[in-house]
Every structure is written in C-alpha cells, then in structure tokens.
C-alpha cells in the first residue's frame, strides 16, 4: 500500500470518527429539530383547518341570533350575541356587539343601546368602518332620546364633505336641531343635503320637506342670510 493510499484511509477513518462523535453528541437535537419541523407543519395545517371551522361556527351563531331576533326572541338573541362578542373570531365579535346594541334598542332600552354603540365606536381594535356604523347608530338613537349636543358629539365629524355616512349624519343633526328648536342649525344641515349632488333621493326629498317646514316658520336660506 502506498503512502498516499494509507493517508486516505486514515483521513476517511478520521472523518468517520468525527461524524460518529458529532452524531453521538447532537443526534437528539437533530432528531428533535426534524420532529419540530414536521409537527410545526402539521400544526399549521391543523390550525388553518380549525380556524376555518371556528369562523364558520361564529358565522352560524351570528345568523342564528338574527333569526331569533326576527322571531321576536330578543332575550335569546342577546344571550347568543353576548357569547359571540366574547368568544367569536374575526369580525364577528364586532358584528355581534353592533347587533347586540340594536337588540337593546328593539327592547326599548335606548340608553343601554347608546352605551353599547359608543363602546364599539371608541374601541380601536375594531375596523374603522364598523366603528363609524356604531357611531352613526348611537347618534341617530339620540335624536329621539338625547340632546342636540349629544347628537352633535357623535355625528358632527361624520357630516364632513367626502365622508361615507355624511348624508345620514346631516339628516340626524338636522332632525335633532329641529326637535330642540335650533331652526337655523336645522336649516344649515338640510341645505347641505339638498346641495350635495351625491345625496340619495330619499334623504334629499326628506330634507326638502323639512326646508319647506322651516320656511313656514320664517327660516329659509335667504331669510337666514339676511339675519
């Protein structure tokens, strides 16, 4: 055997010894890492499937509560919605809380309904669109159950040009102003609706009727400017 052959055999043995030593020392970490990868992948698949099932269950629970409400079973609907608000997934907790507030209103408890809507509107963990819906609902409830200032606190910022719910917000502000005999303020809000080309026909028509009523009391755009 040549010296070169002998040296290669020695090197091969050394490599084998190093591998054996490495394996003896770290085999459990290597095996553990491989298991973790497999378990992690399987866990992700399980969680993905589980999340879809839970989301589906939340949706079913929400629809069930709506059906109970339609049947006039408001107490039962409230129980389901309260549970969904605590344990639901995705946007269902927010939707459940909005529906829950509406159930309070249907039961004739506007104070509790407004508190529930305000809670959603002030919760930054919820989607901004849902918060705006809650803010609008609270403001509209207060048209019949609160002061003009309370309505304004919730709807004023929503009445600005370009805002999605500005037409409904302006109508709520105008009606509240009318109710509290703030006729000049009412005129401003109803005029804003009439002047807005994007206002829905129904709201625009109602605003026109209110402006006629205001004119009958001596409040019209020209009379207001003259004063």
Q: Could you tell me if 141 and 78 lie in one domain?
A: no
Is residue 123, in this structure, part of any structural domain at all?
A: no
Question: Binning pLDDT at 50, 70 and 90, where does residue 160 land?
Answer: very high
Q: Both 26 and 66 in a single domain?
A: yes
Cα 54 to Cα 51, 60, 63, 84: the distances in Å are: 5, 10, 14, 11
Mark whether 87 and 141 lie in a shared domain: no
Last residue of a domain, one of 57, 91, 108: 108
Per-residue pLDDT tens digits for 162-171 = 998 999 999 9
In a domain, 124, yes or no: no
Which of 16-25, 36-45, 172-181 shows the lowest per-residue confidence on average (mean pLDDT)? 36-45
pLDDT in tens, 183-194: 999 999 999 999
Q: Is the pLDDT of residue 146 over 80?
A: yes
Contacts of 68 (CB under 8 A, 6+ apart): 74, 76, 77, 80
Residues 148 and 206 in one domain: yes
Quote the pTM value.
0.68
Range of the domain at 88: 22-108
141 and 213 co-located in one domain: yes
Q: State residue 198's pLDDT score.
A: 92
Q: Does 43 lie in the same domain as 85?
A: yes
């Amino acid at each position: 055997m040549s010296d070169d052959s002998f040296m290669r055999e020695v090197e091969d043995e050394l490599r084998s010894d190093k591998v054996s030593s490495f394996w003896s020392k770290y085999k459990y970490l290597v095996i553990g890492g491989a298991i973790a990868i497999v378990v992690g992948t399987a866990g992700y698949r399980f969680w993905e499937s589980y999340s879809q099932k839970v989301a589906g269950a939340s949706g079913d629970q929400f629809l069930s509560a709506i059906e109970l409400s339609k049947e006039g079973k408001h107490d039962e609907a409230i129980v389901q919605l309260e549970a969904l608000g605590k344990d639901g997934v995705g946007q269902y907790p927010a939707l459940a809380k909005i529906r829950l507030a509406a159930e309070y209103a249907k039961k004739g408890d506007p104070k509790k309904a407004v508190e529930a809507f305000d809670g959603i509107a002030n919760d930054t963990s919820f989607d901004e669109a849902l918060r705006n819906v809650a803010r609008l609902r609270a403001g509209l409830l207060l048209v019949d159950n609160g002061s003009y200032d309370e309505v304004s606190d919730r709807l004023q910022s929503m009445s600005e040009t370009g805002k999605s719910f500005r037409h409904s917000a302006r109508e709520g502000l105008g009606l509240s102003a009318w109710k509290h005999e703030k006729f000049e303020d009412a005129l401003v809000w109803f005029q804003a609706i009439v002047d807005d080309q994007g206002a829905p026909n129904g709201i625009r028509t109602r605003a026109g009727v209110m402006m006629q009523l205001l004119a009958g009391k001596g409040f019209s755009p020209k009379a207001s400017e003259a004063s």
